[in-house]
Amino acid sequence: MIGTGLEQVLFTQPVPDTTERQLGVLIRWAKGSKQVVAQELGVSLRTVQRWTARRPAARTRPSVRHLALIEARVRARWQPLVRARRRAVAEQRGLVVHTRARFGFSAGARSSDDPRHRLLTSIVPGEVARELFSAWEAGAPDGQHTAILARALGHVYFRQAGQRAHALKAEFTEIDFIEFGLA
C-alpha cells in the first residue's frame, strides 16, 4: 500500500495497467519495431506479433513470467525525467502524508495517546522521503516502510518535532488508506 502511494507521487500519469497498453508503449519506445521489443523480452518476433494481433481471435496472452517482465520493463522506463524531478522535490521539501490508521503508543488506559484510529495529515521532512524512496527501490517490505513512517509521524505528531516526549515510540498499524503528495 505504501509502495503504491510512493509510486503515485512520482508519476504525473499512471503506468499503463493492461498488457495490451504496456506492449503498445514498448513498441512505441522501440519506434514501431516489434523485433526490438522481442529481443528486449527474449522472445521471438512471431510471439510479439501474436500478442499484438489486431483480431482478438488471433491474439494470445503472454505467460505469467512474460507478463511480469513486460510490466517491469514499462515501470522501469515510465516517465524517467518526471520521476527524477518529483523525487528531487520530495527529498528537498518533504512529503505530505494523509492517512487513516491505528496510530499512537502504548499508554495508560483512557489516555489520549493510546493507539486508536486517527485521521492524520502531516508533512514529513525530505530525509524521511529519501529513506522511504531508498527502501522502496531496494524492494523492502511494507513493514519497513511502516516503521519509517511511524518514526517520522510520531516525531511530528506526538513529539511535536522534538519539543516533548523524546523517548516515545509510536505505533502505526491497521492502515485504512494512505496518500502522499509533494510538500
Task: Report how far Cα 53 is from the mean position of its chain's Cα atoms.
Answer: 32
The pLDDT tens digits of the residues spanning 116-170 come to 788 888 898 999 999 999 998 888 888 888 888 888 888 877 766 656 655 566 7
Prediction pTM value: 0.69
117 is written with which cell numbers? 484510529
Domain boundaries, the chain: 17-77, 85-182
Q: How confident is the model at residue 107 (pLDDT cuts 50, 70, 90)?
A: low
